[in-house]
């Protein structure tokens, strides 16, 4: 006989409450951890979009290749972190993360489209960093705060 059969109803309810508390703690931990990953990855991708404007392929092909390589590594890191933690996210967090991640990628692609403009103003480059980082950064901050 298992130990579960020997528990009275009050003990079973207490065990169920303990299991639920443990699950809530795991969900909170997973959400905070993915939130921090999101914040870091969003800032890195924004910085890469910024650097991309400073090292266009016409003038600095090696720098351009390194930046694109780092972008691929950042995307893979974000994808692997999500794959590992998505089961421990609260309801709705997965959809918000996907939207933030997708918008960050779209804005990074838009920054690639701006390369022929050869933007050199630091204010515009800073704005590119902020715009590219913002979607995933906002999602990450929201996940850390919950």
Domain ranges of the chain: 21-145
Over residues 42-57, mean pLDDT: 92
Q: Which two tokens stand for residue 65?
A: 């290749």
Q: What is the pLDDT of residues 96-112, one digit of tens each?
A: 988 999 999 999 999 99
Distance CA 4, CA 137 (A): 45
Angle between helix 122-145 and 93-113 (nearest 10): 170
Give the H or E element holding residue 40: helix 9-54
pLDDT the model gives residue 15: 73
């Amino acid at each position: 006989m298992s130990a579960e059969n020997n528990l009275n109803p009050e003990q079973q309810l207490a065990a169920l409450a303990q299991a639920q508390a443990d699950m809530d703690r795991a969900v909170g931990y997973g959400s905070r951890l993915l939130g921090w990953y999101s914040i870091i990855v969003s800032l890195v991708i924004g910085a890469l979009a910024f650097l991309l404007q400073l090292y266009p392929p016409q003038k600095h092909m090696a720098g351009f290749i390194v930046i694109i390589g780092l972008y691929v590594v950042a995307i893979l890191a974000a994808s692997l972190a999500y794959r590992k933690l998505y089961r421990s996210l609260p309801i709705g967090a997965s959809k918000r993360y996907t939207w933030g991640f997708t918008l960050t990628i779209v804005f990074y692609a838009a920054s690639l489209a701006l390369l022929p403009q050869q933007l050199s103003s630091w204010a515009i480059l800073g704005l590119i960093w902020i715009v590219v980082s913002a979607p995933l950064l906002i999602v990450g901050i929201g996940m850390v705060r919950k």
